[in-house]
Amino acid sequence: MSNWIIAGLGNPGSQYEHTRHNVGYWWLDQLASELGQSFKTESRFNGQLIQFTTPEHKIWLVKPLTFMNRSGQSVSALANFYKVPPENILVIHDELDLPAGVARLKRGGGHGGHNGLRDIISQLGSKEFLRCRIGIDHPGNSKQVADYVLSKPSAVDRENIMASIDNSRRVLPDVLAGNLEKAMNWLHSQ
C-alpha cells in the first residue's frame, strides 16, 4: 500500500473562500463531498485534513491553513511525518497561464512565480511532486495579478473552472495508479 498526499492550495478565511487563488481548496471540497467526509483541523500539520484508504493507497487530503506563501510548511510536515515521497504528492493550484476551464497535469518543474509552489519546493527540497494546474486565466497585466487572484471569478469563469475541476478529479484513479500518461492524454484533450 502506498501513501499519498493531495494538497489543495488556497488561503484560509471567508474573505478568500470564493477567490481564484482558492481553486485548490474547491477541488478538495468537491472530492470530500463525493467521499461524504469533512475536513478536520490538525494544528501539528498547519492544515485541515481528511484521511481515507482505498485498497491500494492511504491518502491524506490537506488544505494548508498557513496562507499561500507558506503552503510548504503544511505539506512538508505531513510528508515527513507519514514518510510520503515527493513523487507521491499531488498539489492542486491555480494557474494564470491557462484559460479558465482548462486543467493540466505535470510532474516537476519550477514554481512559475506561484508563491505556494515556491514554498513547497523550498520546504520539500524537491521539485518532483505532481501538479494539477487549474486555469484561472490572466488579467493581461502583471501589475494586476495580485488583485486578480484574490478576486472572485465571473459566473462564466467559475462555471468553467468547476468543469475543469470535475475533469481533473476524473483522472485521479489513473494518477494514483501511476498511469500519469493516460491521465494526461485524457485530461489534456478536454
Any idea where the domains of the chain sit in the sequence?
2-187
- The average pLDDT across 99-103 equals 97
Which three cell numbers mark 52? 481515507
At 109-144, the pLDDT tens digits run 999 989 999 999 999 999 999 999 999 999 999 899
What CATH topology corresponds to 2-187? Rossmann fold (3.40.50)
Q: What's the pLDDT tens digit per position in 138-169?
A: 999 989 999 999 999 999 999 999 999 999 99
Which pLDDT belongs to residue 1?
87
User: Is the CB of residue 111 less than 8 Å from the CB of residue 117?
Assistant: yes
User: What is the bridge-based pairing of β-strands 103-107 and 57-64?
Assistant: unpaired
Residue 181 has pLDDT above 90, yes or no: yes
Could you tell me the pLDDT band of residue 28, with boundaries at 50, 70 and 90?
Answer: very high
CB-neighbour burial class of residue 39 (10 A; exposed 0-12, middle 13-18, buried 19+): middle
State the pTM of this model: 0.97
Helix, strand, or coil here: 111? coil
Catalytic residue among 21, 111, 138, 188: 21
Long-range contact pairs involving 83-87 (C-beta distance under 8 Å, separation at least 24): 83/3, 84/3, 84/4, 84/5, 84/60, 86/124, 86/126, 86/127, 86/128, 86/129, 87/128, 87/129, 87/130
Neighbours of 166 (CB within 10 A): 13
- Distance in angstroms (rounded) separating the CA atoms of residues 110 and 157: 26
pLDDT digits (tens, 9 = 90+) for 61-97: 999 999 999 999 999 999 999 999 999 999 999 999 9
One-letter amino acid of 148: Y
The whole-number average pLDDT for the span 37-55 is 96
138 belongs to the catalytic site? no
pLDDT (0 to 100) of residue 88 = 97
Q: How many beta carbons lie within 10 A of that of residue 98, not counting itself?
A: 17
3-state secondary structure 4-37: EEEEECCCCCCCCCCCHHHHHHHHHHHHHHHHCC
